[in-house]
Amino acid sequence: MMKSVKEVSIESKILKRLQNHPKCLELVNYLFSDAELQEMQDYANNVSIKRLGYNDHGPVHMRQVTANAIKMLNILHESGIQTSLEAEEIGCFEDSMCAVILAGLMHDLGMMIGREGHEQMSVILAKPILERAAMHIFPENLHRRTVIKSVAIESIIGHMASRRIHSIEAGIILIADGCDMTKGRAKIPLAINTTPKVGDIHKYSANAIDRISIHRGEKKPIRIDIEMSAEVGFFQIEEVLITKINMSPSKQFLELYSGVEGEEPKCYIE
């Protein structure tokens, strides 16, 4: 199946952000060329948008979450902050990055089945791919494979803020997922689903989010800035993103600002 222009564009950003991490580059190239994973991502999106009327939960979203997570993890690394695997002296930074990549690219596969409990279904569906990807990258290192798969599974099953997670890595995926809420995710659902239904506020609020930027902060290592065209966008921030941030072990490293274009941004977390 042919990839969209958007998918290819995000893949290019991901590859650029991993230039200093050869094993991570090998991993993303392996996953980007995996035909089965691509088919699963595409079908998850079909179910999400066409059958259920939700926002994008497919290959573009999963790549964007991965790109967000890589950027945040790199900022922490450059700021001298250790991941959980590093702090516990059980893995290296590259192990943490590999786990985040695996989780980011597979966290919503469960949407192939449905919305309810999709994070648990994502783990089940992702497990065979997790195992063969880990074996491909670290064929002679059982310890690294075990640690990376464990953190990836924690990150996948914790991405809905419905259960407590404990690692910095899983916390980064939780926030990275919440940060993918710009109008692009709502464009197709808004166009094809015109009958009012419960949950529409998520599409309309996401459609008001113009831009989200993740960069080095002033008071904390990571700063997230959100620009919106209308105040309805605050719903997406307060009901989705803030909920995820509050459940994230990585909240301590984050500052968050948002506002309507032309107005003074509101500080949510500093």
Domain boundaries, given as residue ranges, for the chain:
5-177, 183-269
For residue range 42-71, list pLDDT tens digits in order: 999 999 999 998 888 999 999 999 999 999
Flag the least confident range among 106-110, 187-191, 225-229. Answer: 187-191
Going by pLDDT thresholds of 50, 70 and 90, the confidence category of residue 190 is very low
What is the predicted pLDDT for the residue at 16? 97
The two structure tokens encoding residue 87: 């702090």
What is the predicted pLDDT for the residue at 182? 81
Closest listed residue to residue 69, CA positions, set 106, 37, 36: 106
Residue 259 · residue 228 · CB < 8 Å: yes
For residue range 234-249, list pLDDT tens digits in order: 888 888 899 999 999 9
What is residue 174's three-state secondary structure?
Answer: helix
For residue range 87-128, list pLDDT tens digits in order: 999 999 999 999 999 999 999 999 999 999 999 999 999 999
What is the predicted pLDDT for the residue at 217? 96
The amino acid that residue 164 corresponds to is: R
Say if strands 254-260 and 266-269 run parallel, antiparallel, or are unpaired.
Answer: antiparallel
What is the predicted pLDDT for the residue at 232? 81
Residue 175 · residue 254 · CB < 8 Å: yes
Contacts with 232 (C-beta within 8 Å, 6 or more apart), sequence order: 201, 204, 205, 208
pLDDT at 168 over 60: yes
CA distances from 245 to 54, 169, 189, 254 (A): 22, 13, 26, 9
For residue range 138-166, list pLDDT tens digits in order: 999 999 999 999 999 999 999 999 999 99
How far is 191 from 152, CA to CA, in rounded Å? Answer: 34
Average pLDDT for 74-80: 98
What is residue 190's three-state secondary structure?
Answer: helix
pLDDT at 175 over 90: yes
Task: For the chain, give the mean pLDDT.
Answer: 91
How far is 99 from 186, CA to CA, in rounded Å? Answer: 28
